[in-house]
């Protein structure tokens, strides 16, 4: 009997509280997806190439998974608390019908087990698909053909870890549910849905003072962050703690003061206050004000973390990519650093011996650098020299204009588009002047036409053999990209992992709260209908309450994130160029996809509850 009743309750809860079950499912999916990175294509490629970042990435994923599990556990417990409050009358009815508190607790135990089982099965299935999508996306970031690493895979290790963590979370839910029912009084259960917070009229002066204090606290926190910078503000505790405390207190005071402002503003405009169901909508929103401002503060901070972490992750990845491409105008550059002693290398012959054909190279250039002789060039401030014709060929290949300045002249390092830095100041000289100077270094550059990895492997084999007679140093785009890719993947995985977690938590908290309140208001909507309110006005009132709950924390979170991103981009930009607009737009797209989806799902569910009321 208990099993049949539990299954019926679960099906009914899914119909009314699908957002809750979807949150559990997406939590499982998220947890599995990022804990299965070890077997994803990007990590396989990095491990195959001996990238040292593989172990740190896996270690940090494990560490952050514990944090994510704690966040999701708090979220699920919070959600379960709202659902139990919604079901107090139902649970009280069970007690009135003769069931003992132990039997009711057993019923909740079975329901939680069924919900957990369904969430785990569906979540793991979605996680397998999502992990393949994440793997395909991260592999698309590589500049080499890694299509062979794509394929459907299932990580037993990640699945086992997910089952263990979420099994413990659901066990906690079962225990807390049983304790809450066992401690509840029957009268509280029967009348639980009728209890509202007392709506106290608050002075506009008090609200104004709170708003000003909140604005001052936020201004002080912003000033600290922008003045000392992100690195110092986060790393130095005497600065970090006051800054975070001021920011949190300011956010709380802003939301605390809004109820007074909104109430006075609307009441002073009777045409607005008494239009349609605005009076009912406003008072229902304010009836929860004492818990609303606390939850809105928490949600605002979660949204700030989600936006900030995601946008910083995108911005940092863009900076890393720029660093990988910096000074890598060609696929490979080989320096013969012993050209002044051992002579120049016949690269055509050397490469041909190792099976590198001309068809495998789209372009190649052998450039000679010379010792600077001030008696010839008339310039002492340089250690090397290059012919203007060689420089122009290199620049044109790299997409730069030909040199058009005076000759001879000292060049900046950035004006010579070579993969490896020469480590010396250099002159650009007329071609005829080169015959009067001694050879200092030979630099061979090329772009590949065939498979990049295969061609480079043969070239590096040739370079290794050439080391017997010459001092050769090879530097390639793939080498630099492989070095930087580990950091890029680390930033992506951790940024997206935490960003999705905080965003999911923020959206789910609001959605569950609004669903619970909508269920409580079902009877009130029925009264409105009997009083003659049109159906569309009732549904609109339900939607407006959801919109207020979702939009208010979002607006302040966007303001917070704008200041935070300014400081974060200033820090990231110290390592290279960063497109703050692009990273912010990427974060906004993620926000709209998840947060907006939760808003729509919640609004539709609340409208349906209002219609049934």
Annotate 446-468 with DSSP letters as a single string: EEESS-HHHHHHHHHHHHHHHTT
Q: Residue 426: pLDDT band by 50, 70, 90 thresholds? A: confident
Q: Residue 569: pLDDT band by 50, 70, 90 thresholds? A: low
For residues 318-330, give the mean pLDDT.
64
For residues 491-498, give the mean pLDDT.
76
User: What is the H or E stretch that residue 213 is in?
Assistant: helix 204-228
pLDDT of 199: 46
pLDDT tens per residue, range 91-128: 777 777 777 777 777 777 777 777 778 888 888 888 88
In whole angstroms, what is the distance from residue 265 CA to residue 554 CA? 21
DSSP-assigned states of every residue in 222-268:
HHHHHHH-HHHHHH-HHHHHHHHHHHHHHHHHHHHHHHHHHHHHHHT
Q: Which of 288-302, 331-345, 559-573 has the highest mean pLDDT?
A: 331-345
pLDDT tens per residue, range 165-216: 888 888 888 787 777 666 666 655 555 555 544 445 556 677 778 888 988 9
Q: Would you call 100 helix, strand, or coil by DSSP?
A: coil
Dihedrals phi, psi of 14, to nearest 5 degrees = -65, -35
Length of the chain: 613
Task: Give every CB contact of residue 352 below 8 A, 6+ residues apart in sequence.
Answer: none
Lowest mean pLDDT among 37-46, 241-250, 336-345, 512-521: 37-46
In whole angstroms, what is the distance from residue 574 CA to residue 522 CA? 55
Contact 284, 524 (CB under 8 A): yes
Lowest mean pLDDT among 209-218, 286-295, 429-438, 556-565: 286-295
Helices 289-325 and 237-267 pack at an angle, to 10 degrees, of 130
Residue 541, Cβ neighbours under 10 Å: how many? 26
What are the Cα distances from residue 226, in Å, to 2, 235, 578?
A: 59, 14, 18
Contact 477, 328 (CB under 8 A): yes
Rounded to 10 degrees, the C-alpha dihedral 279/281/286/288 comes to 140
pLDDT of 186: 61
pLDDT of 226: 80
The DSSP call for residue 578 is: -
What are the Cα distances from residue 553, in Å, to 252, 299, 588, 595?
A: 11, 6, 15, 12
Percent of residues, the chain, with pLDDT higher than 70: 76
For residues 507-528, give the mean pLDDT.
78
For residues 456-470, give the mean pLDDT.
85
pLDDT of 198: 47
Which comes out higher in pLDDT, residue 118 or 40? Answer: 118
What region, left, alpha or beta, does residue 532 occupy, with left being phi > 0 and alpha being psi -120 to 50 degrees? left
CA 101 to chain centre: 44
Does residue 260 carry a pLDDT above 70?
Answer: no
CA 572 to chain centre: 16
What are the Cα distances from residue 189, in Å, to 192, 193, 509, 595?
A: 5, 8, 23, 33
The DSSP call for residue 433 is: G
Q: Which residues pair with 384 in a beta bridge?
A: 371, 426
Contact 320, 487 (CB under 8 A): yes
pLDDT of 387: 92
Does residue 582 carry a pLDDT above 70?
Answer: no
The DSSP call for residue 496 is: H
pLDDT of 504: 82
Does residue 566 carry a pLDDT above 80?
Answer: no
Does residue 32 carry a pLDDT above 80?
Answer: yes
In whole angstroms, what is the distance from residue 613 CA to residue 610 CA? 5
pLDDT of 290: 56
pLDDT of 368: 92
Lowest mean pLDDT among 261-265, 351-355, 372-376, 514-518: 261-265
Does residue 323 carry a pLDDT above 70?
Answer: no
Lowest mean pLDDT among 82-86, 334-338, 498-502: 82-86
User: What is the H or E stretch that residue 219 is in?
Assistant: helix 204-228
In whole angstroms, what is the distance from residue 549 CA to residue 169 CA? 27
pLDDT of 66: 85
For residues 454-475, give the mean pLDDT.
86
Give residue limits of the domains in the chain.
Answer: 1-195, 198-328+479-613, 338-470
- Where b means 16+ CB within 10 Å and e means fewer, 36-59 reads bbeebbbbbbbeebebebbeebbe
Rounded to 10 degrees, the C-alpha dihedral 337/339/340/343 comes to 160
Task: Give every CB contact of residue 11 below 8 A, 6+ residues apart in sequence.
Answer: none
Alpha helices (H) along 369-451: 374-377, 388-397
């Amino acid at each position: 009997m208990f099993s049949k009743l539990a299954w019926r309750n679960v099906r009914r809860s899914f119909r009314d509280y699908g957002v809750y079950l979807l949150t559990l499912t997406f939590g499982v999916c998220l947890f599995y997806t990022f804990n299965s990175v070890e077997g994803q294509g990007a990590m396989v490629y990095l491990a195959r190439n001996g990238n040292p970042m593989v172990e740190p990435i896996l270690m940090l994923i494990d560490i952050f998974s514990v944090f994510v599990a704690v966040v999701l556990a708090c979220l699920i417990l919070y959600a379960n608390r709202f659902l139990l409050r919604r079901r107090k009358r139902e649970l009280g009815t069970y007690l009135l019908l003769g069931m003992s508190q132990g039997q009711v607790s057993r019923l909740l135990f079975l329901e939680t087990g069924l919900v957990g089982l369904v969430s785990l099965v569906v979540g793991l299935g979605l996680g397998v698909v999502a992990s393949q999508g994440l793997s395909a996306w991260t592999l698309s970031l590589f500049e080499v053909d890694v299509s062979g690493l794509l394929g459907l895979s299932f990580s037993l290790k990640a699945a086992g870890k997910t089952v263990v963590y979420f099994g413990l979370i659901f066990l906690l839910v079962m225990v807390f549910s049983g304790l809450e029912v066992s401690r509840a009084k029957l009268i509280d259960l029967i009348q639980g849905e009728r209890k509202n917070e007392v709506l106290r009229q608050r002075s506009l002066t008090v609200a104004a003072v709170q708003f000003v204090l909140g604005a001052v606290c936020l201004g002080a926190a912003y000033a600290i962050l922008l003045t000392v910078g992100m690195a110092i503000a986060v790393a130095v505790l005497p600065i970090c703690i006051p800054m975070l405390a001021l920011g949190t207190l300011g956010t709380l005071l802003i939301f605390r003061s809004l109820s007074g402002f909104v109430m006075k503003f609307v009441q002073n405009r009777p045409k607005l206050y008494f239009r349609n169901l605005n009076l009912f909508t406003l008072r229902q929103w304010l009836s929860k004000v004492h818990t609303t401002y606390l939850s809105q503060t928490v949600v605002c901070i979660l949204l700030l973390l989600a936006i900030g972490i995601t946008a910083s992750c995108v911005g940092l990845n863009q900076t890393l990519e720029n660093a990988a491409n910096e000074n890598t105008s060609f696929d490979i550059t080989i320096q013969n650093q012993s050209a002044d002693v051992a002579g120049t290398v016949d690269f055509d012959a050397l490469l041909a011996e190792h099976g590198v054909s001309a068809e495998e190279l789209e372009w190649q250039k052998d450039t000679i650098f010379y010792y600077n002789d001030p008696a010839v060039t008339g310039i002492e401030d340089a250690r090397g020299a290059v012919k203007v014709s060689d420089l122009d060929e290199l620049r044109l290949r790299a997409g730069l204009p030909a040199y058009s300045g005076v000759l001879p002249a000292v060049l900046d390092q950035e004006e010579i588009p070579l993969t490896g830095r020469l480590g010396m100041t250099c002159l650009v000289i007329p071609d005829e002047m080169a015959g009067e100077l001694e050879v200092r270094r030979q630099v061979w550059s090329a772009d590949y036409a065939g498979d990049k990895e295969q061609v480079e492997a043969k070239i590096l084999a040739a370079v290794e053999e050439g080391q017997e007679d010459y001092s050769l140093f090879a530097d390639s785009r793939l080498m630099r990209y492989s070095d930087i890719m580990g950091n890029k993947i680390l930033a992506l995985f951790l940024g997206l992992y935490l960003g999705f977690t905080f965003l999911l938590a923020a959206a789910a908290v609001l959605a569950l709260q609004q669903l619970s309140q909508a269920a409580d208001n079902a009877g009130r909507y029925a009264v409105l209908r009997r009083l003659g309110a049109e159906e569309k006005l009732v549904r609109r009132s339900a939607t407006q309450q959801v919109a207020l709950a979702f939009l208010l924390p979002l607006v302040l979170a966007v303001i917070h994130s704008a200041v935070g991103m300014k400081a974060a981009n200033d820090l990231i930009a110290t390592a290279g160029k960063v497109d703050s607009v692009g990273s912010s737009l990427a974060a906004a797209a993620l926000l709209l996809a998840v947060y907006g989806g939760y808003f729509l799902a919640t609004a539709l569910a609340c409208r349906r509850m209002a219609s049934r009321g």
